[in-house]
Structure 1
Amino acid sequence: MAHDHHDHSHHHHHGPPADGNFSQAFKWGIVLNLVFVAGEAAGGFWANSSALLSDAGHNLSDVLSLALAWGAALLAQRQAAERYTYGYKGATIQAALLNAALLYLALGFILWDTIDHLRNPAPVNGTVVMGLAGLGIIVNGFTAWLFRHGQKGDVNVRGAYLHMLTDMLVSVGVVVGGALVYFTGWHWLDPAISFVILAVIAVSSWSLLRETVQLGLQAAPAAIEVAAVRRFLLSRPGVTGVHDLHIWPLSTQDTALTAHLVRPGGQNGNVFLRELQHDLLHEFNISHCTVQLEDDLPLMGAHGCCDQQVA
């Protein structure tokens, strides 16, 4: 006869929280970038620079990304409800997906505008371009610095960090482009540099897009090797088989696991589960686990969903 033991870990292990310590970082990042976007867009129109306009468009998408990430982080702090039994942690994944979609949509519009400028080149005020892009290096560099400590703990914070760091590097490129236009008079260099900027943004954002899509599909987090977790479970005392192992993200920070363990004649089930919960958290950063112990034959669900048992 199979014995069912369900253990729900509530010792959540996080990187630095997106709210709390990073609340001020989000505020400063949003305010500084909004002011800079307004100035950069005005300067781009005045200087007739597609490179500045493309950079301003991307910075505007960064403001929206920061706002969405911050809002999702605040929503994730809410307590679980009767219908939302896992709480609202999944909002961070939805925000990351939406941010990725908005980013590439903005890139499409900017690309269209850049092509038009390349077809119809016009004089560019290189001095204004260099001045505003130089200011962008300061604004984006400072904003990236605000998120430097949390960029390894949460994909939302890492996204903010990488966006700002990328923008700082792009601004360096715009300064160089403005200098080239100023000294050579080759106005076609401005839209050409804009193409380079768009390519840099698209390439640098691809890994984030891929990761957020994987999170949205409830794939096991990239940092966790499922085969290693299976081997770990099989190595536990008395365990002879593992099946129905599932690992998925509850949010951009929290990971859940469910598994059936075949443990014939297992004794001290509660002690076993408590130690297992502790080790899963510290070995794999899996903060929420539900484990079912079985004496012998695996219990199959109504739809025959058991995966192949590994003995």
Structure 2
Amino acid sequence: MHQCAHHHATEKDFGRAFAFGVTLNVVFVVIEAAIGWWSDSLALMADAGHNLSDVLGLLMAWAGYALAKLPPSGKRTYGWRGSTILAALFNSLLLMVAVGGIVWEAIGRLSDPPAVPGPIVIVVAMIGVVINTATALLFIRGSEHDLNLRGAYLHMAADALLSLGVAIAGAIILWTDWRVIDPVASLAIAAVIFFATWKLMRESFQLAMQAVPAHIDIEQVQTYLGELAGVTAVHDLHIWAMSTTENALTAHLVRPGHTNDDVLLNEISKTLHERFKIDHITIQIERSVGDANCGQWEEGTL
């Protein structure tokens, strides 16, 4: 006895956004890295390295986004929806590696910072502000409900701010000749990346481990199901993310003296979708816990 609900709202196709964002950023990475190497600016090379990691991140997010659209098969009954979770997790780990590289190089240059041509740094960094902002805007709509797209958006939005920081560092060098600002700016960039990435890594790891999504309060779901007409107990309640946009729920409801109720099941499906953003729902109705012989159920647990 079950009710499977699949609510899929019409969504914008982000395929072209990924293609445009990747192309734009690859061109910029090549230009910024070349100028950074020529001018011996660690801040520029650090920003180029971070932008390269974002290109790889965009490619991973794009792959996850595309794979999630593939239909289910006999072997993969949920399709490839979980690939978006893996893409978000990979992106966070990739950024953490980039942070380590930037910090290592910056610390080595603190004692003997090289001369950096301020005007070049300012111009290149401001170009980065424009490109990163334009790319971030491509994903701002999807970032509201998709952790995978949110990762792409946060990366590019952070890059826009970081490129602005590099430009400010170039201006300080130009006006004061304080060369140590270059590695100091690199350390500041690394700190911003780390804190912006930490939440993404934590959330994507939790989803990969099939934890309850952060925006869902399982106690509220438990309370709602337990207060339904005729329900005396709720057990074997499980909520997990199938992808970065779709959540699933299974639960056993004990209703003594009641049989399967399609009206009730439809009501549960609608409420769980509207209140908790849970789309794939399976409900089993039982007359008693003992009769169901559910091995996972224990007294006092969900």
Q: Where on the TM-score scale, by shorter chain, does this alignment land: which range?
A: over 0.9
For residue 288 of structure 1, what is the aligned residue in structure 2? 280
Aligned residue pairs, count:
301
Aligned-partner Cα distance in 1 for 2:289–2:153:
49
Name whichever of 259-268 and 166-175 sits farther off. 259-268
Q: Residue 228 of structure 1: SS of its match in structure 2? A: helix
Q: Residue 88 of structure 1: SS of its match in structure 2? A: coil
Please show how residues 32-181 of structure 1 align to structure 2 within 5 Å. Answer: 32-181=24-173
Q: Show structure 1 runs of 5+ residues with no match.
A: none
Q: Residue 245 of structure 1: SS of its match in structure 2? A: strand
Please show how residues 150-229 of structure 1 align to structure 2 within 5 Å. Answer: 150-229=142-221
Counterpart residue type for residue 38 of structure 1: V
2:8 is the counterpart of 1:12: yes
Aligned-partner Cα distance in 2 for 1:257–1:13:
18
Aligned-partner Cα distance in 2 for 1:300–1:98:
40
Aligned-partner Cα distance in 2 for 1:110–1:309:
50
Any conservation in 2 of the 1:241–1:310 contact (CA below 8 Å)?
Answer: no
Q: Deviation per CA, 1:26-56, whole angstroms, max 9, x where unpaired?
A: 1111011101111110111111111111111
Counterpart residue type for residue 10 of structure 1: H
Instruction: Compute the TM-score of the two structures, normalised by the length of structure 1.
Output: 0.93
Q: Residue 119 of structure 1: SS of its match in structure 2? A: coil
Aligned-partner Cα distance in 2 for 1:300–1:104:
47
Any conservation in 2 of the 1:47–1:126 contact (CA below 8 Å)?
Answer: no
Any conservation in 2 of the 1:118–1:192 contact (CA below 8 Å)?
Answer: yes
Instruction: Compute the TM-score of the two structures, normalised by the length of structure 2.
Output: 0.96
Q: Deviation per CA, 1:91-136, whole angstroms, max 9, x where unpaired?
A: 1111111111111112212222222222331111111110100100
Name whichever of 196-205 and 270-279 sits farther off. 270-279
Any conservation in 2 of the 1:241–1:309 contact (CA below 8 Å)?
Answer: no
Aligned-partner Cα distance in 2 for 1:138–1:310:
53
Q: Residue 80 of structure 1: SS of its match in structure 2? A: coil
2:299 is the counterpart of 1:308: yes
For residue 275 of structure 1, what is the aligned residue in structure 2? 267
Any conservation in 2 of the 1:242–1:310 contact (CA below 8 Å)?
Answer: no
Q: Deviation per CA, 1:36-80, whole angstroms, max 9, x where unpaired?
A: 111110111111111111111111111111111111111111111
Aligned-partner Cα distance in 1 for 2:69–2:6:
14
Aligned-partner Cα distance in 1 for 2:188–2:179:
15
Any conservation in 2 of the 1:12–1:288 contact (CA below 8 Å)?
Answer: no
Aligned-partner Cα distance in 2 for 1:158–1:189:
31
